Structure 1
Amino acid sequence: MESKEIISDEESEALREADAEVTAADTEARAPEGQVRDLHPDHWERIFADRVPALESIGERMVSLLKTTAREFFRRSVEVSSVPSRTHRWGAFARKLPVPTSLNVLEISPLRLKGVACLDPEFVFALVDVFFGGNGKDSPSLDNSSFTPMETRLVRKFVERVALDMQEAWRPFMDLTFTLGTSETNPIFASVAAGSESVSVSGYKFELDDKEFHLQTVLPTRLVEPIRFLRDAGQADDNQAETQRWRAQLREDVQEATLGLRAVLAETRINLRELTDAKPGDVIPLEIPPTMKMYAGNQPVLEGSFGVSKGKNAVRVHKLLDREALGEKYGRTH
């Protein structure tokens, strides 16, 4: 399916105008007194589109990093500014993308998630124009619905640098690796979520003289939610330190827990016929080994020999079978 077959610019504009008219009509309509007003189906999307301080901090770091990256590719100083992140439904966002748009899938490790770096066609043309000695100011030809192999190659080199910048910008909050995957022009093949699922979209504006180019990064909300309520990178470090303190305390307290031990004197094997034919008085021969195992649940923990101590059956411990289970992994000695 060609990108143009998804939805044209005119159809997209008509849908937005129709939606705006419906929204205005709903706003003017008031529910009668004593009755409940119907909730607009897009209301939940506006609720999700709140500020995420951590993303703002990441955006500021990205602006600084992207200035260096843009200077290398455009061979001059480029002014870069961030656009506040917003939450959209993936299907609605994909339908509003211009045709063609360079959609570059980003593999996010170790979370096994995917994101997308979107470059508008003017951005792609400017990269190619500067690469071949131009100034990036000429207007591109948008007759084609796809990019040439040369354009795709240059875009991928640029996005690879952007992925490294994202990795560095996210480092104070989460240790992630962004790896460039496939490059597409059809949102169907670069989907990072179901059409109704929400995604977080962050934008960056590149100003080259009197021209503006736009880069958008689309990330799943599952990646954003863990840092939604963090104010800054320092808070992430504080949380990590607090986690370490709790882990150390829990580790110490667990050592004082009580558990039951059972000792197995001997084991043997018989077949099912012998078991079903057994009757009181039958003798099952056993070989008593010199040592025996003691279990905590089903986990063997000690090995020793059976005997009597102070008039009671006892086991003399010879060795520990699982030192980690008994706490020696954490510095506890026995």
Structure 2
Amino acid sequence: MSTTTSLQSDAVKLEETMIRQARESFQRLPTLEIVLDRLLLAMVPDLKSYCTVAPEIELQSLDYLPYEDAMEATQAPSLFAIADADNWNSQIACVVEPDLLFSVLEIMLGGRRAQPNEWKPRGLTAIEQKLGRRLAELSLKGLSKCLSDVSPVSFNIASLESNPRSVMLAAPRTATVAVRLHMAFEDRSGHMTFILPYGNLDEVSAKLAQPFLGGRSPTDSNARKDMNTQISSTTVTITGVLQEMKIPLRDVLEWQPGQVIDLGMTVDTPVVGMVNAQPMFQAAFGQRSNGALALRVIQSLLPQETEEEIADDVSPD
């Protein structure tokens, strides 16, 4: 009898779990995920300008869950910057956690060489709130830039809160994205969380839910320019391939020192320049005035799209 009761209880729990998971199975937003990847790069210049230290930012977690669960998962007490999302008729929250707030505060006030102190929960002073508000403004500015290609929007901070229970952006079961970032400033680090309820934003949610089909944005161009700057001094080995031909192995095994191999080339036959086994250009084989052998590039073998991207990246603003 007890075994039957236990099995029935387990069955009920299983059904409840399946129903709850079905209700909380929210639609993923692939385009938003791409936007957030770009955000990691877009935030660095503004934060470096403000904090004098370039942070290393990584996406720690991205969760789709009900609004009430997203708020319960945030660390308390934290600084909740409630921002009005113009053009969306909605609000989002940028949560500056204490570890990030006090890491930046110590860096900006000259405590970079001091040993980091463990923060004890307490109320935030006016200066600390002002600093946290500025961090949130810079981060929301970067998010607005990254979203501009999908749905132009501007975020304006309306209020600051320290208790997540005082923040009501949406109904408790509204579909929400919680994005937690980890920021490292040399030997100090901290966290920031974006709370974006999308369950009430039909038009914007539809755009963000579309599969990402590629494309470029101003953020991508800036990232390419930064990468080109970093690798501009890198050296590569160029291999000149005179000719390729197929020869039976039995003929190769019979080769003797001094034997001449006819490559079937003429003076006008182009040489292929290769980098890491990738054909890069065709060149004419010749000799410089000082007697050194040389190659003169006569045709690029890069795909047309690649050439256009490189031209865009190196063109002056």
TM range (shorter): 0.5 to 0.7
Cα displacement (A) at 1:150: 0.4
Query: What is the distance in 2 between the residues matched to 1:177 and 1:143?
Result: 32
Cα displacement (A) at 1:172: 1.0
Query: What is the distance in 2 between the residues matched to 1:172 and 1:152?
Result: 32
Aligned to 2:117: 139
Aligned to 1:38: 15
Q: Is the 8 A contact 1:86 1:202 kept in 2?
A: yes
1:229 aligned residue (187, 210, 213): 210
Q: Is the 8 A contact 1:202 1:217 kept in 2?
A: yes
Are residue 97 (structure 1) and residue 74 (structure 2) matched?
yes
Q: Taking structure 1 as reference, are residues 52 and 235 closer, same or farther at Cα in structure 2, changes over 3 Å only?
A: farther
List per-residue Cα deviations over 1:190-216 (Å, max 9, x = no partner).
Answer: 221122222111222112234431111
Task: State the SS of the aligned residue for 1:225.
Answer: helix
Q: Is the 8 A contact 1:57 1:232 kept in 2?
A: no
Aligned to 1:88: 65
1:204 aligned residue (178, 181, 184): 181
Aligned to 2:34: 57
Q: Which has the higher contact order (CA 8 A, sep 6+)?
A: 2
Paired letter, 1:42: R
Aligned to 2:45: 68
List per-residue Cα deviations over 1:145-195 (Å, max 9, x = no partner).
Answer: x21100000111121111211110101111111111101101233221122
Q: Is the 8 A contact 1:104 1:116 kept in 2?
A: yes
Are residue 150 (structure 1) and residue 135 (structure 2) matched?
no
Q: Taking structure 1 as reference, are residues 82 and 45 closer, same or farther at Cα in structure 2, changes over 3 Å only?
A: farther
Task: State the SS of the aligned residue for 2:75.
Answer: coil
Percent of residue pairs identical: 15
Paired letter, 2:205: E
Cα displacement (A) at 1:51: 4.1
Alignment of 1:1-334 (within 5 A): 31=11, 38-40=15-17, 41-44=19-22, 47-48=25-26, 51-135=28-112, 138-144=116-122, 146-221=123-198, 222-223=200-201, 225-226=205-206, 227-232=208-213, 234=215
Q: Taking structure 1 as reference, are residues 95 and 37 closer, same or farther at Cα in structure 2, changes over 3 Å only?
A: closer
Task: State the SS of the aligned residue for 1:100.
Answer: coil
Query: What is the distance in 2 between the residues matched to 1:181 and 1:232?
Result: 35
Paired letter, 2:96: L
Cα displacement (A) at 1:68: 1.3
Aligned to 2:264: none
- So what's the TM-score if we normalise by structure 1? 0.55
Q: Is the 8 A contact 2:30 2:209 kept in 1?
A: yes
Paired letter, 2:210: F
Q: Is the 8 A contact 1:137 1:211 kept in 2?
A: no
Query: What is the distance in 1 between the residues matched to 2:196 and 2:87?
Result: 15
Cα displacement (A) at 1:137: 5.8
List per-residue Cα deviations over 1:29-82 (Å, max 9, x = no partner).
Answer: 865xxx99514153036521x642212211121111111122123322221112
Task: State the SS of the aligned residue for 1:38.
Answer: helix
List per-residue Cα deviations over 1:294-334 (Å, max 9, x = no partner).
Answer: xxxxxxxxxxxxxxxxxxxxxxxxxxxxxxxxxxxxxxxxx
Aligned to 1:8: none
- So what's the TM-score if we normalise by structure 2? 0.58
Q: Taking structure 1 as reference, are residues 77 and 45 closer, same or farther at Cα in structure 2, changes over 3 Å only?
A: farther
Query: What is the distance in 2 between the residues matched to 1:228 and 1:133?
Result: 44
Task: State the SS of the aligned residue for 1:76.
Answer: coil
After superposition, the CA RMSD in angstroms is 3.0
Q: What is the number of residues matched between the two proteins?
A: 206
Q: Is the 8 A contact 2:55 2:184 kept in 1?
A: yes
Query: What is the distance in 1 between the residues matched to 2:54 and 2:13?
Result: 56
Q: Taking structure 1 as reference, are residues 214 and 45 closer, same or farther at Cα in structure 2, changes over 3 Å only?
A: farther
